[in-house]
Structure 1
Amino acid sequence: MPDPCSAIVHPCLPQNIFPLFAPRPWTLNTLHIIHRRAALARLLNPSLRLHAITYSPFSTTPLHISTPALLVCLAHPCLLGFSPLPAHPITTWHCQSPQSPPSPSRPPCCHACSPAPPPQVPVERWEEAQFTWEPFHQWVMNTSVYRRAVHRNYPMSYPCGVWANHFYKFVFIRNRKAASTTVTDNFDKCHYENSDPRLCIEVVSLNRLKERGVDPAVMWRDYFVFTTSRNPWSRAGSSYDYCSTKWARTDGPCRQPPFSAFSRDPSILGKISNLFHCFDRVGMYHDYYHTEPVAPCITTETGLPAVDYIIRYENLSSDLPEAVRIINQRRDPSLPPLPEPKIYWKKKGQAARSHEEQGVESNTAALVGHGDKYHKCGMQCVRDIYEYFRVDFELFKIPLPEADPAGDR
């Protein structure tokens, strides 16, 4: 049955919403962009009715459909809508006050509209000068010193890694154990000697933005924001393998705990390494921030996605070139296109390497590389990791699988 929204034409709709209604193939990450901006519009005006499909960004099968994935019904004359593609700016508007005067940037029919705030990661999560370690330190004291009952999910232990290029206008949010180093290695670092200022990336801070004359709100609104991420079960297994390899000592109390103990409480690695001073080459926060959920660094204050595109670790060979293609599509015509990215696994995990040695292709190995851990540990480890990383699983719409009745495996 045709959706009644498909026939709606509203005089307040900006022109750049019409690609939303045109039949075309929609890729998985395009759907993510649509979903993000639909959620933003819905938040601003609860009376707006949105219809969208449900999908998982970790699906191994590319999703293409020939009809619109999203149809918008307007129930408010001052909500303009949004652009579904990162090549266009967000143009969501919402009513604030009947006294708001019209302006040339608004259609004649709107008399009380104001631009919506851009979706962004809260500044206190990525700006080191505003990030506070006190909640995390207090959690460590309560759990390890005072032995008080605390939730095993601790406050953020380290600021989010937000990088930017202000010529090609993109923001990259680093996520640990998700091929972030592979992405950043395709660009110079701006603090390197002889780096090309047009092609380099730098850590974002309010001071650097001020020096460059960039408004943080404009950056989040107008730049292409992308990140990498990974199936949380796979990321947990990788973090378990990786963290203890950075310890200077691996004997006595610094022996790697069983995976079942890690699944019950992933912070156990940070507790062991700090209590017995197992680490040497890394700091005290290393094992904590490698085992934290990633959602706080890629969502808004209200939990909505704050990124335009997710490079899936399991699909690195196709998603990274697609991100570069989008950046090139959006670039200033006076700039040369970015070169095709180099695809290689900078810090390939031992599980993935082992599967590749058996002839398994890289992307597949990245997806199944840690399955043996869960098979040996059982369904309880699957459940424990799901509960610990629940915010990530819910963000990526990955359900908890049902137990195998033959053996709870």
Structure 2
Amino acid sequence: MCTVLFEVYTAGQRRGCAAGNSTNRHAAALTSSPTRNSETLAEPRSVDGGAHDTGAMSWQQVDELMQQSSAVHGRQRKGGMPANWPALLAHMTNKNAQLHGVPEFMSEAVFKWFAAAHTYDKASGQSNRHLQSPVPPCHFYVDHKYRILYVRTTKTASTSISVTLGMKENPMACKWSQAACWAKCKDKPVCLAYIWDAEELKKVWRDYTVFSFVRNPWARAISSWMHIHKLGLKKFCHERFARFAEAPSVYGAKCLSNPACCLLRFGWILEHLEPQSRCLFDASGRSSVDFIGRVEHIDEDMKELLALVNSRRPMGTQALTVDTMPQLMAAEHNLTRKVDEKRQRYAELYLSSASALDDVRSYFHRDFEMLRFAGGSLPQQSTGGNAAVT
């Protein structure tokens, strides 16, 4: 199936693949009678070896879990580039203006993922622990003036951060309007621009200050589900959160097996559903970045990041200060406004299912492990973070 689907897709690319719908129709035809994967996956277990009994939990207790921030944060001792970084580059979705929202390289790994996602069946005992797609959740942005590289992951306040600092638009937007392409950089302290050339990226990664922000996976999963419903999928293909939590990447497979579901392409869906840690650690498990900020503490962590950037800025370059970025502070305030009324609503999404907490923990297990998010037991008190950021 993978070989045939690959041939169909590359043929579509040669014809221009203007909207990807031809490929999706072929995918739907090829998979209309799916066969079960030959490999039976093990019964899912939570990372800590136990399960959360949501029947015995209040929404406040679930909310406390969702507020936990990464134990890995602040300045880091940067190791190598992210593990399998050439594959991250190859599967990014915004490199080609003609194929916006689609990986430029349709590798065998894409088709293996699709076969697994299309035939996934939790009821038969399959696990979601290895159901992630090759599409990364991140894009790389560089600013040469301040010598910074932003590893921008989805649903981590990335729009607020990048727009506030200054950001060049993606290739598709730049193709349509050169004026709009640079508009968000006007009167901004920096101008972050996409970078995907492998040789340039290696040099920048070595020499520049590399930073990223991360978010509690339980809160991020809800935010992704809501965002995809709003922009990516038509209403008749929406699933309740408990169903989504069982296997998030299946949402991306919908766009290949049933293209009528999708408002945006499958790569856009998938990049909102992948573990953020994939872009942040090298093959030895060391941090790949100089600084990790937390969405739950975006105000204080941004100040710490700016102090680091300023300590390394080129001579003659104006220092960045919080006062020069009022948009970020306004965005942070808006993100946490009305947080109390959101918290209960979000927590109750997990309480609607006996397994949603553990399903999300299983799928995003690398985030819990590498970024050391609490989750093995209920916290004794709130961390004071603001998890209800969308």
Using the TM superposition, give the Cα deviation of residue 274 of structure 1 relative to its aligned residue in structure 2, in angstroms. Answer: 3.9
CA shift at 1:383, angstroms? 1.3
For residues 360-380 of structure 1, what are the alpha-carbon distances to aligned partners after superposition, in whole Å with 9 as ceiling and x for unaligned? xxxxx6x877322223324x2
What aligned pairs does 1:173-252 form with structure 2 within 5 A after superposition? 173-190=151-168, 192-193=181-182, 195=185, 199-206=190-197, 209=200, 216-247=201-232, 249-251=234-236
What amino acid maps onto 2:309 in structure 1?
Answer: I
Q: Counterpart of 2:365? A: 390
Alignment check: 8 A CA contact 1:162 1:171 kept = yes
Deviations 1:64-116 (A, max 9, x none): xxxxxxxxxxxxxxxxxxxx967xx97xxxxxxxxxxxxxxxxxxxxxxxxxx
Partner of 2:111: 137
CA distance in 1, matches of 2:71, 2:378: 27
State the shift of 1:132 in Å: 4.4
Separation in 1, partners of 2:350, 2:361: 12
Q: Deviations over 1:219-271 (max 9, x none)?
A: 223311110110011111111111111146213xx1x2122222211123223
Task: Tell me if the contact between 1:183 and 1:320 (Cα under 8 Å) persists in the aligned partners.
Answer: no
Mapped to 2, the partners of 1:389 and 1:334 lie a distance apart of 43
Deviation at 1:290, TM superposition (A): 0.9
Q: Do structure 1's residue 372 and structure 2's residue 348 form an aligned pair?
A: yes
Measured after TM superposition, the shift of residue 398 of structure 1 is 2.2
Contact 1:160 1:173 survives alignment (8 Å): yes
Aligned residue type for 1:318:
E
Of 117, 135, 138, the residue aligned with 1:160 is 138
Shift of 1:140: 0.6
C-alpha contact (below 8 Å) 1:240/1:259 kept by paired residues? yes
| Unaligned stretches of 5+ residues in structure 2 | 1-66, 93-103, 170-180, 380-390
Cα deviation for residue 300 of structure 1 reads 0.8
SS in 2 for 1:186: helix
Does residue 272 in structure 1 map to residue 249 in structure 2?
A: no
RCO higher in 1 or 2 (8 Å CA, sep ≥ 6)?
Answer: 2
Match runs of 1:6-405 below 5 Å: 118-121=79-82, 122-128=84-90, 132-134=105-107, 135-144=109-118, 152=128, 153-158=131-136, 160-190=138-168, 192-193=181-182, 195=185, 199-206=190-197, 209=200, 216-247=201-232, 249-251=234-236, 254=237, 256-278=238-260, 281-340=263-322, 341=325, 342-345=328-331, 355=339, 358=341, 370-378=346-354, 380-402=355-377
Q: Is the 8 A contact 2:138 2:276 kept in 1?
A: no
* CA positional deviation for 1:344: 3.9
- 1:70 — aligned with what? none
Partner of 1:18: none
State the identity as a percent.
Answer: 20
TM-score (norm 2): 0.60
Corresponding letter in the other structure for 1:157: V
- State the one-letter code of the partner of 2:110: F
Counterpart CA distance in 2 for 1:368 and 1:310 is 28
Q: 1-side partners of 2:140 and 2:75: how far apart? A: 22
Inter-partner Cα distance in structure 2 for 1:257 and 1:347 = 31
Residue 106 of structure 2 aligns with an amino acid whose one-letter code is W
- How far the C-alpha of 1:348 sits from its partner, in A, is 7.5
Alignment CA distance shift 1:376-1:149 (3 Å): closer
**Deviation (angstroms), 1:389:** 0.7
Return the offset for 1:288: 1.7
| Larger of the two Rg values belongs to structure | 1
Query: Which amino acid letter does the alignment assign opposite residue 393 of structure 1?
Result: F
Instruction: Assess, with a 3 A threshold, how the Cα gap between structure 1 residues 291 and 124 changes in structure 2: closer, same or farther.
Output: same
Structure 1 pair 164/260, CA: closer, same or farther in 2 (3 Å)?
same
Q: Distance in 2 between matches of 1:61 and 1:162?
A: 21
In 1, distance between residues paired with 2:320 and 2:374? Answer: 37
Distance 1:329 1:279, change over 3 A: farther
Residues 88 and 134 in structure 2, CA contact (< 8 A), matched pair in contact too = no
* C-alpha deviation, 1:293, in angstroms: 0.8
Q: Judging changes above 3 Å, is the alpha-carbon distance between structure 1 residues 353 and 391 closer, same or farther for their aligned structure 2 residues?
A: same
Identify, as 1 or 2, the structure richer in helix: 2
Distance 1:156-1:234 versus aligned 2 partners, 3 A rule: same
CA distance in 2, matches of 1:202, 1:145: 38
> 5+ residue gaps in structure 1?
1-57, 64-83, 91-117, 210-215, 359-364, 405-409
Q: Could you tell me how far apart the structure 2 residues matched to 1:246 and 1:353 are?
A: 23
Letter in 2 for 1:275: S
**Structure 2 residue matching 1:162: 3-state secondary structure:** strand
